[in-house]
Homo-oligomer: A and B are copies of this chain.
Amino acid sequence: MFGLTILGNNSAIPAFGRHPTAQAVTYEDQVYLVDCGEGTQQQLAHYRVKRSKINHIFISHLHGDHYFGLIGLITSMGLLGREHPLHLYGHPTLKTIIDLQLEAANAILRFPLLFFPVTQPGVLLDSPKMEVSCFAVKHRIPCWGFLFREKKLPRKLLPAKAIEAGIPPRFFHQLQAGMDFVNEQGVIIPNSLVTLPNPPGRIYAYSADTIYDESLAGIFAGVNLLYHEATYLHDLKDRALERFHTTALQAGEMALKSGAKKLLLGHFSSKYEDLSPLLAEAGDVFKNVELAIEGVTYRIF
């Protein structure tokens, strides 16, 4: 299961029961936290996302609605007796802030807090099944989007065909890795006869906070799910520009241009109690779009 659980979908000021940005990317037994606005630890508890499964936290930028809940989450993890390492990725100043607050509390964490400063685009995490990379977006302060790329899975074995071809089971692993088999008579049995290619790894893209920027379309090309900020309706496009944000219409255009398979809108302005006009506006240009709703898990496929 590769999914995205929305913990907060609002922009700067909490309103209408909506929370500032935080989301949990779940992949098999791992939870990757993306941004961590105030109240995230309570949202995690509310939606039963296990804190103990979070081993990597990615912070896009240092506007408070994207990280003011981080120190509370880290502190609680410490109080709850966590011992396994936590990896934190963000602007170098984030470490200064966290260290200062821990020091002021005279708090010593019993788990390793491993900090990785994000200063240039590239791969942040390379694990056996998932690669996470960052890319620069255009905001008022340095800001990074994240790509979660499922690694290409092994080929799918066709056991009946393999046995029929006389391949001993101890070689099946190599077949899944794409190798041909050569039998004792020196006959080559091509891999394609006994396996099927698996679908390519799925990709989730998180736009973070950004101005509408067509140069991002290449990064979002063909992603399975694009979460794009849609702070305002397009009648406020000047305000969006001035504040380095995107309109719902522009988010739809970005999805269309990039060839993303599905678009999820988020980071809604506190101006809007009713979010349906944002959905309608993006839907006019890109059909497969949904609103990011807190507590909902969106499957990535």
Residues of chain B within 8 A of A246, CB atoms compared:
none
Shortest C-beta distance, A140 to chain B (Å), equals 6
> How far is A63 from B62 in the complex, measured between Cα atoms in Å?
22
Within 8 A of B (CB), among A60-94: 62-64, 68-69, 71-72, 75-76, 79-80, 91, 93-94
A10 to chain B, nearest CB (A): 11
Q: Is the CB of B80 within 8 A of A71?
A: no
Given A105-B64, A105-B141, A141-B105; A42-B14 close (CB under 8 Å): yes
Complex Cα spacing A300 to B106, Å: 35
- Which residues of A140-157 have CB atoms within 8 Å of chain B's CB atoms? 140-141
| A104 touching B75, Cβ below 8 Å | no
Closest to A93 in B: B104
* Bound Cα distance A135, B79 (Å): 28
**Also in contact, A41 and B12, with CB within 8 A (given A63-B105, A64-B105, A104-B62):** no
- Looking across the interface, which residue of chain B has its beta carbon closest to that of A46? B17
The yes or no answer to A182 lying at the interface (CB within 8 A) is no
Count of chain A residues near B, Cβ 8 A: 33
Each complex incorporates copies of this chain amounting to: 2
- Residues in B with CB closer than 8 Å to A64 are 71-72, 75, 101, 105
Q: Which residue of B lies closest to A73 (CB)?
A: B38
CA of A64 to CA of B105, assembled, Å: 7
Q: Does A96 contact B (CB under 8 A)?
A: yes
Q: Report the bound CA distance from A71 to B15 in whole Å.
A: 17
CA distance A171 to B271 in the complex (A): 54
**In the complex, what residues of B have CB within 8 A of residue A41's CB?**
14, 38
A111 to B: closest C-beta gap in Å: 15
- How far is it, in angstroms, between the C-alpha of A105 and the C-alpha of B59 when the chains are bound? 13
Residue ranges of A at the interface with B (Cβ–Cβ < 8 Å): 12-15, 19, 38-39, 41-42, 45, 62-64, 68-69, 71-72, 75-76, 79-80, 91, 93-94, 96-97, 100-101, 104-106, 140-141
Interface pairs (22), CB distance under 8 Å = A12-B75, A12-B79, A13-B80, A14-B45, A15-B45, A19-B42, A38-B42, A38-B69, A38-B72, A39-B39, A39-B42, A62-B101, A64-B72, A68-B72, A91-B104, A93-B100, A96-B100, A97-B97, A97-B100, A97-B101, A100-B100, A106-B141
